[in-house]
Chains A and B, each alone.
Chain A
């Protein structure tokens, strides 16, 4: 080989070495920018919308579930005939054709046409459109229309507990209520499927990667009982309707534990179609709204005074015959009274009496007691949107301000604070943190969180608490303000409340806008249920004892029998006397009647003359098979009244006209 040939060959060899070095640099050493760009252009993260966890009540009834639906999308730019597609869509999903035509004729890349329809319907529509377009037969050639699976939130009980549960948006993200508050548990891990895609954007699902499509959120088991919630809601609705009120709240809580059994708020909405709901309906008024508690607050005044030793139950207070000049203002009572014992102040709900009792305390002590009950701070329930209520500043808490607070004006509280504080009054003096989440379970059913009763602090001694229970028992007795709250089989305690609302804008008390409420508990000596009913702006009647107490009555009786709380009073007798001779029912002694629940549940009550609803209420607690015949009032019953009842006995009750 000539030297010149060698030079050329050597030159080519040198170039070859350069090529090898360059390849070594790129392929073996790696150039960061190139690697990243490569990874970026292939990688496509497909978000797997996890199946949102269900919300269930304490017994496992489904309150909110996620169901599989399909959403139809179009890619207008790829659509062959927008005209034909619009015509079919317009017919199938009932949307005006011109709108659709306009949308489909656009050159947008992607468009949802209809989201979250039943799977089969969506598939059918797409098939029909594909046929009309003459596409869909090719091998995966894109034709500009398709379906995507999307889970949709479904609330099987519709309005039930809607303002408590809240709702989600179309992408299954919690927007309000429990859905929002516990979103991080419900929504599940946002899983991504790492796929590769080609330059046309088509996804290549790697066959080696297992597809985790069953990613699912945790289920939340609430302390709510669907049936109690239903009772609370329907009774509240009835009261709101009867008095043409703006709305209302009903709360059922276990005073010993702080568990919420029902949280009803009116107005409601259907969370399946949340867009149609007015903002007022979406709010959970039980904790996002405050009201002036009115006379119900006297309970706290009394218990504070008793706890601090400022008064004794035997003491008497002069109630100025209904008009009391104090600190430059005049305090009125609806029914003027003279000398009243401390329990009577509560029974007759005397503003003057409450004010005079509060005068016995150092204002600071009274103020601290109010705060200790939990007023002015959030209860700390698991739900978002809770407010803390408004307390007057401590420095200005004297004189007329302290006096008005003593009977529940000039202070605003949430319904939730009220049941929580009232529970502390009657449960022996412990402030329990209210809670609504009983359990959170992972998709395998393992409990990952369990709601436990939590004692925040002690605010009253057991002795004061017992005194308060007795005093509140008086409220529902003859001549008390809450007589309509009495129920058969139980002694109950409670307090009525009627407060003027502050006008928005003027800041003055409205002459006709009221908040009527009743808060009560049962059984009197060993409270299992604390129930609050608040009616916002009732028309016609305004007194809590009239407007709210009957709703309390119904919720209490139905819930107590439903939950199987043992009656403390002889039911048969109570029913009989209650229905046949209501006048005589008044004089039941405060002390507990010594009829054991075991005994009473073994004796067939006298049902004659009762309505069917009453029979169901009364018989609900017996473990018998109830057989109802006819309509009207009870004419015949078998077994006869007073006979022993063995659990499982068939009872036949025949109804007829009066």
Chain B
């Protein structure tokens, strides 16, 4: 083991720690007043905070566990994982089990808390993509056919997720898959075609639902309907505006006082913008970018192609989702229901993102082990046993 490899895990650890702890604090700040005023939450100002801390502990435990589980397990069990995820995803449509909020049935009601299968499917799909790339080889010249299974399976999952509906999640998954395929060497032209198809799909989907049209309109001119569809957008902007350079200070924001709906989930970034200011915005964004960078470094040093593409997929999806959420908060993108990884309130999201970090760390550890082994080999026989793609990454 070299210091270089461990640095990556250390950076990953600290970035995750900073974001997750900050997220818990911001969730408390964002919800204490509303929860305290609502009988539904037992007038408990710490209602959301307590639960988020619980999720954090569960997620951290799971992450620690997963750092010890060789990621090859996911490759070997990929079909089972796919099937299980699909099953969970379909449970969302079963009355009595499903849990609906804000008109979307994205959750399974597990009595104690609700589980969001689409969060899981996001990671499993990327694992499946990594698996496919690994199995069919990395030679892009083999053509589109190699990736047809990925496209087909992804299409099925996306269709189900869109049915929930969870438009934001679908966009994130598609974008991450495209990024992964791109890095894996998928031909430019085909990617352009896929991208074009994706854009067309997005346009069609927006046009098909009136509320999406309204959101788009509100995005284009939020102030024209500041009391209706543009309300969230405008309130989010006001939150950022209140923040200034250094913010109002944690707990001193005003927008959470019932102005900004979903402030502890989709709009936690606006609360950060208000209470931690421009500095907080820059820092949080930098954390996510660092995580992607570290993830890509881990990928480069990965033991095998599956590990490499899994690392790329996991770190890409975290980065893409984070940046998209930030852009929604700053009204650079039309609003769509999408959480900010590690920061937003929500059990499924927090636990699964922490688990993904655990997997990333495992890939990093296994890569380091392989490197050390390789090093030993080279020292002994000066032979290359490492796979060829290592330097391409």
A449 at the interface (CB under 8 A from B): no
**CB-defined A-B contacts under 8 Å, sample of 6:** A2-B392, A13-B289, A27-B278, A37-B226, A139-B43, A198-B258
Residue pair A16, B285 in contact (C-beta under 8 Å)? yes
Select one of B223, B277, B312 contacting A27, CB under 8 A: B277
Q: How far is the CB of B237 from chain A (nearest CB, A)?
A: 5
A5 and B241 contact, CB distance less than 8 A: no
The reply on A137 being an interface residue by CB < 8 A is: no
Does any Cβ of B come within 8 Å of A12's Cβ?
yes
The answer to whether B323 and A19 have CB atoms under 8 Å apart is: yes
Q: For residue A37, which residue of chain B has the nearest CB? A: B238
Q: Is A20 an interface residue (CB 8 A)?
A: yes
B228 on the interface (CB 8 Å rule)? no
Complex-state Cα separation, A107 to B276, whole angstroms: 42
Q: Which 4 A-B pairs have the closest CB atoms?
A: A198-B257, A199-B258, A38-B238, A27-B278
Instruction: Please state if B285 and A27 are interface contacts (CB–CB under 8 Å).
Output: no
Give the interface segment out of B162-170, B200-208, B325-333: B325-333
- Which residue of the partner chain B has the closest CB to A24? B278
**Chain B contact residue count (CB 8 A cutoff):** 47
Contacts of B245 in A (CB 8 A): 27-28
A199 touches B259 (CB 8 A): yes
Give the distance to chain B from A141, nearest Cβ to Cβ, in Å.
Answer: 8
- Among B50-58, B146-154, B292-300, the stretch in contact with A: B292-300
Question: Scoring A residues 29 to 69 as 1 if CB is less than 8 Å from chain B, else 0, what string do you get?
Answer: 01101110110011000000000000000000000000000
Report whether A23 and B242 are in contact in the complex, using a CB–CB cutoff of 8 Å.
no
For the complex formed, measure the closest distance between the CB of B304 and the CB atoms of chain A, giving whole angstroms: 16
Output the nearest chain B residue to A33 by Cβ-Cβ distance: B223
Given contacts A23-B282, A33-B223, whether A8 and B316 have CB atoms under 8 Å apart is: yes
Q: How far is the CA of A13 from the CA of B244 in the complex (A)?
A: 23
Instruction: Verify A19–B300 contact, CB threshold 8 A.
Output: no
The reply to whether the CB of B179 lies closer than 8 angstroms to some CB of chain A is: yes
Q: How far is the CA of A2 from the CA of B242 in the complex (A)?
A: 42
Chain A residue contacts of B286, Cβ below 8 A: 16
CB neighbours of A23 from chain B (8 A)? 240, 273, 278, 281-282, 330
B237 contacts A26, CB within 8 Å? yes
State A23–B329 Cα separation when bound (angstroms).
Answer: 10
CA distance A42 to B244 in the complex (A): 17
Is the C-beta of B320 less than 8 angstroms from some C-beta in chain A? yes
Verify B240–A12 contact, CB threshold 8 A.
Answer: no
Which A578-626 residues have a C-beta within 8 angstroms of B? Answer: none
Interface size class of A (residues with CB under 8 A): 35 or more
- Residue pair B327, A19 in contact (C-beta under 8 Å): yes
- Is residue A508 contacting chain B, with contact meaning CB distance below 8 A? no
| Known contacts A5-B296, A20-B281, A38 near B183 by CB under 8 Å | no
Q: Mark B180-201, 1 if CB is under 8 A from A, else 0.
A: 0011010000000000000000
Q: How far is the CA of A12 from the CA of B286 in the complex (A)?
A: 11
Question: Which residue of A has the minimal Cβ distance to B261?
Answer: A199
In whole angstroms, what is the CA distance A24 to B281 when docked?
A: 9
Nearest chain B CB to A366's CB is how many angstroms away?
A: 74
The chain B residue with its CB closest to the CB of A27 is B278
Task: Confirm or deny: A278 has a beta carbon within 8 angstroms of a beta carbon on chain B.
Answer: no
In the complex, what's the smallest C-beta–C-beta distance from B171 to chain A, in angstroms? 14
Query: 0/1 per residue, A132-149, Cβ < 8 Å to B?
Result: 000000010000000000
Q: Is the CB of A9 within 8 A of B332?
A: no
Query: In whole Å, how far is A533's beta carbon from the nearest beta carbon of chain B?
Result: 67
Task: Check if B278 sits within 8 Å of A12, measured CB to CB.
Answer: no
Kindly list chain A residues whose C-beta atoms are within 8 Å of the C-beta of B243.
27
Residue B218 is within 8 A (CB to CB) of chain A in the complex: no
Chain A CB within 8 A of B375 CB: no
- Verify A4–B241 contact, CB threshold 8 A: no
Residues of chain A with a CB closer than 8 A to B226's CB: 37
Q: Is A466 an interface residue (CB 8 A)?
A: no
Partner of B281, one of A18, A27, A35: A27
Is the Cβ of A1 less than 8 Å from the Cβ of B297?
yes
Contact between chains at B241 and A8 (CB < 8 Å): no
Contact mask for chain B residues 377-393; partner A; CB cutoff 8 A; 1 contact, 0 none: 00000000000000011
A9: chain B residues at CB < 8 Å are 292-293, 296
A162-196 CB mask vs B (1 if < 8 Å, else 0) is 00000000000000000000000000000000001
CB distance from A168 to the nearest CB of B (A): 38
- 15 A-B pairs besides A9-B293, A33-B223, A198-B257 with CB distance below 8 A are A2-B392, A12-B289, A12-B292, A12-B319, A16-B289, A19-B281, A20-B285, A26-B237, A26-B240, A27-B240, A27-B241, A27-B277, A27-B281, A30-B241, A199-B257
- B 209-248 binary contact with A (CB < 8 Å = 1; else 0): 0000000000000010010000000100110111111000
CB neighbours (8 Å) of B392 from chain A are: 2
- Contact B234–A37 (Cβ < 8 Å): yes
B254 CB-CB contact with A under 8 Å: yes
A45-104: which residues lie under 8 A (CB-CB) from chain B?
none
Cα A38 to Cα B236 in complex, Å, equals: 10
Partner of B323, one of A16, A26, A200: A16
Contact between chains at A34 and B237 (CB < 8 Å): yes
Question: Are A38 and B242 in contact (CB-based, < 8 A)?
Answer: yes
A421 to B282, CA, bound (A): 83
Q: Is the CB of B296 within 8 A of A4?
A: no
Residues of B within 8 A of A1 (CB): 296-297, 300, 393
B residues near A198, Cβ cutoff 8 Å:
33, 254, 257-259
Please report the C-alpha to C-alpha distance between residue A23 and residue B234 in the assembled complex, in whole angstroms.
14
CA of A28 to CA of B240, assembled, Å: 10
- Within the complex, what minimum Cβ distance (angstroms) separates A7 from chain B? 8
Contact of A4 among B183, B258, B319 (CB under 8 A): B183
A-side contacts of B316, CB under 8 Å: 8
Contact A5 B299 (CB under 8 A): yes
Indicate if A246 sits at the interface (CB-CB under 8 A): no
Give the residue of B43, B259, B277, B320 whose beta carbon is less than 8 angstroms from that of A41.
Answer: B259
Provide the bound-state CA to CA distance between A139 and B43, in Å.
9
Give Cα A489–Cα B107 distance, bound, in whole angstroms. Answer: 104
Q: Identify the closest chain A residue to B184 (Cβ).
A: A4
Provide the bound-state CA to CA distance between A42 and B312, in Å.
Answer: 45
Q: Is A334 an interface residue (CB 8 A)?
A: no
- Minimum CB–CB distance from A199 to chain B (whole Å) comes to 4
* Closest residue of B by beta carbon distance from A138: B39
Instruction: Tell me the nearest residue of chain A to B393, going by C-beta.
Output: A2
Query: How many Å from the CB of B190 to the closest CB on chain A?
Result: 14
Chain A residues within an 8 Å CB radius of B288? 16
With A8-B182, A12-B289: A31-B241 Cβ-Cβ less than 8 Å: yes
Query: Please, which residue of chain B has its CB at the minimum distance from the CB of A40?
Result: B238
